[in-house]
């Protein structure tokens, strides 16, 4: 099964640079592997990220999302202290909500192309 996920930063702060997104992609690939899932496509902008994930039906999307957001938030805040100044009160990187849309068949290539075309910060 394929799902298109979108995570937005807490308070929509514009905090990500390319170095943050590159590291985040690696972290999220590792989390997906723990769930026997595959991160097919990843990209983002300065305040949100898009993921296209292929996962087995035995995995609950909410559990996968909680792990992706939790692990990435914790590791990024540890590895990039500059991110913490934006979240000194909330101590969270991500907004509590997320978008999850199931994807399959022909539109899969369209979603992949859409994610590839995000305006990644330099």
CATH number, position 104: 3.30.70.1290
Assess if residue 22 is contained within a domain: yes
Reduced to 3 states (helix: H, G, I; strand: E, B; else coil), residue 82 is: helix
Regions of the chain where pLDDT drops below 50: none
Gap between the Cα atoms of 67 and 65, Å rounded:
5
Number of compact structural domains in the chain: 1
State how far the alpha carbon of 60 is from the alpha carbons of 33, 35, 72, 100, in Å: 15, 10, 18, 12
Q: Which residues contact 28 (CB under 8 A, 6 or more apart)?
A: 39, 42, 51, 68, 72
Q: Structure pTM? A: 0.87
Q: What pLDDT does 90 receive?
A: 67
Q: What pLDDT does 119 receive?
A: 87
Range of the domain at 68: 2-117
């Amino acid at each position: 099964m394929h799902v298109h996920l979108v995570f937005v930063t807490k308070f929509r702060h514009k905090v990500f640079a390319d170095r943050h997104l590159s590291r985040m992609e690696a972290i999220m690939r590792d989390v997906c592997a723990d769930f026997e899932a595959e991160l097919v496509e990843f990209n983002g902008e300065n305040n949100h990220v898009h993921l296209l994930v292929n996962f087995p039906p035995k995995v609950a999307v909410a559990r996968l999302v909680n792990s992706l957001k939790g692990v990435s938030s914790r590791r990024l805040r540890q590895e990039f202290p500059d991110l913490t100044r934006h979240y000194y009160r909330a101590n969270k990187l991500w907004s509590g909500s997320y978008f999850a849309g199931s994807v399959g068949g022909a539109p899969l290539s369209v979603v992949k192309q859409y994610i590839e075309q995000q305006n990644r910060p330099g």
